[in-house]
Amino acid sequence: MHSVAQTAYAQFPSPMIRLHGFIQALRGLRPGLGLVLLVALIGGGAPLQGAFGQPTNVQAVLDQGAAAGANVEQMRTVAERARQAGLSEGAVASLLEPAVALAEQDLPTDPLLSKTLEGLAKQVPASRMQPVLQQYRARTEQAGAVVTRWAQRDAVQQLLGAENAASEAAPQTNDRASLVAAIAEARQQGVAATHIESFLAGLPDGVERRPVPMSDVAAAVNVLPDLPDNGASPETATQLVTAALNAGYSPESLRQLPSALRSARQNSNRPVDVLAQGTAQAITKGAPAASVLQSLFQGSFPGGGPPPGVGNGPPGNGPPGTGPDTGNPPGTGPPDNPPDDPPGGNGPPGNSGGGGP
C-alpha cells in the first residue's frame, strides 16, 4: 500500500489528480482489495492526508526549518509543548510553518516562536493562535522589506558607516535581525508603519554622530511603542529618541526612558509630552544619560526646570526636595540604577491587548 501511495504522489503533482491516480492504482489490485484499502485510508484520515502531501509530518517541517536556518531547538520545544497540550500532528505542523517561511527568507524566527510558546503556556486554542502567528509572520516580512529599502540609501550607509553598512544590512546578520524584529514588534503593538518609516528616514539628518550601529537603531525602535502609551505624541517620541541616539545613549539607557518619563509624570503632574520635549532639549544640550534618568525618576526636569517655552509651571516645579539645589533625605529617591521596566508587549498569540493592524 505504501508503494501505491508513493507512486500516485510521484506521478500526479496536483492533489485532485493525485487522488484520481491513487484510486486508479488501487483498481489495479485484486478485486475487492483496492476498495478495502481505500476505505481503510479514508477511515484513518491521517495516512491519506500524508500520502497527498498535507502538512501533518512534524519531523518534515523541523527538517525544513533546519535547512532554512531556523532555531530548530526552539521549534522542537514548540512541537513538544503543543503535543503535551493535546494538539494533533497537523495542528503542531501548522504552528511551526510560519517560522519556517520566515527562515526561508532570511528573516528572524525567534520572536514568532517565543510568541507561540507564550500562547501554548496560556492554553490559547490553536485556532486562535494561527491567525495571530500568520499576522506576525506578515509583519516580519514587511519589516524585512522596510529595512532592506532603508539600508540601501546612501545617507543611511553613511550613518551606519560605509565599512559597516554592507555587513550589518546582510540578511543573516544579528544586527539586521534585531532591527527587523523590533519593527515587527512595534507594528504588532500598534505603532503605525508611517511613524516607523518616518523615524528611520529622519535619522541620517537628525543624528550627527557616526557610525551608529544598527543594533542601536533597533533599541530605539523598541522604545517607540512605550512612549505614546505614556502620553507622548509620535512627533515628540521621534524627537526624544532621535536626540538620545545622537547623544550616544546606550540601549539600556534608551530602554529606561519610558519608565523614567512615567515616573516623572506621576511625581510632577506634568503631561508626558511636555516632559519628553524638555528631556529631548536637555539631551540635545549635552545632559548625560545618568543625569537625565535620575532627574526623571525623581520627578523633575533634567537640569532643574523646563527650557524656555516648555512646561506648565515655573522652573523646578517638582515635588519638595527634588529641585536641582536641594538634596533628598537619605534613603529616598530612585536607586542608583533605576529599576528595569518590563518592555511593552501585546501578550501571547490570541491576546486582544496591544497589537492592532
d(CA 151, CA 50): 43
d(CA 276, CA 22): 68
Q: pLDDT value at position 239?
A: 96
Domain ranges, ordered by start, for the chain: 2-51, 58-124
Q: What percent of the chain has pLDDT over 70?
A: 66
d(CA 27, CA 225): 62
119 touches 129 (CB < 8 A) = yes
Q: pLDDT value at position 300?
A: 86
What is the pLDDT averaged over residues 186-214? 95
Q: Which residue has the cell 537603531?
A: 217
Q: pLDDT value at position 172?
A: 52
Write out pLDDT tens, residues 241-267.
999 999 999 999 999 999 999 999 999
Higher pLDDT, 54 or 249: 249
d(CA 139, CA 357): 9
Q: pLDDT value at position 350?
A: 53
Q: Got the DSSP string for 24-86?
A: HHHHTSSTTHHHHHHHHHHHH-HHHHHHTT-S--HHHHHHHHHHHT--HHHHHHHHHHHHHTT
- Grade residue 53 by pLDDT with cuts at 50, 70 and 90: very low
Q: Got the DSSP string for 301-353?
A: -TTSSPPTT--SSSTT-SSTT-STTSPPPTT-S--SSPPP-PPP---STT--S
Least confident of 50-54, 87-91, 103-107, 114-118: 50-54
Residue 94, pLDDT > 90, answer: yes
What is the pLDDT averaged over residues 208-214? 92
- Which three-class secondary structure state does DSSP give residue 137? helix
Higher pLDDT, 211 or 4: 211
- Grade residue 163 by pLDDT with cuts at 50, 70 and 90: low
Residue 4, pLDDT > 70, answer: no
Q: pLDDT value at position 322?
A: 39
Neighbours of 177 (CB within 10 A): 22
**pTM for this prediction:** 0.71
Write out pLDDT tens, residues 19-29.
444 444 445 54
- Grade residue 232 by pLDDT with cuts at 50, 70 and 90: confident
Q: pLDDT value at position 328?
A: 43
Write out pLDDT tens, residues 289-326.
999 999 999 988 886 655 555 544 433 443 333 333 33
Average pLDDT, the chain: 78
200 touches 148 (CB < 8 A) = no
Q: pLDDT value at position 170?
A: 64
Q: pLDDT value at position 237?
A: 94
Here the cell at position 242 is 532621535
Q: pLDDT value at position 168?
A: 58
Here the cell at position 344 is 511593552
- Grade residue 162 by pLDDT with cuts at 50, 70 and 90: low
Higher pLDDT, 18 or 207: 207
Q: What percent of the chain has pLDDT over 90?
A: 60
- Grade residue 191 by pLDDT with cuts at 50, 70 and 90: very high
Least confident of 38-42, 169-173, 200-204, 297-301: 38-42
- Which residues 6+ apart lie within 8 Å of 54 measured at CB? 90
Q: Which residue has the cell 526636569?
A: 301
Q: pLDDT value at position 171?
A: 60
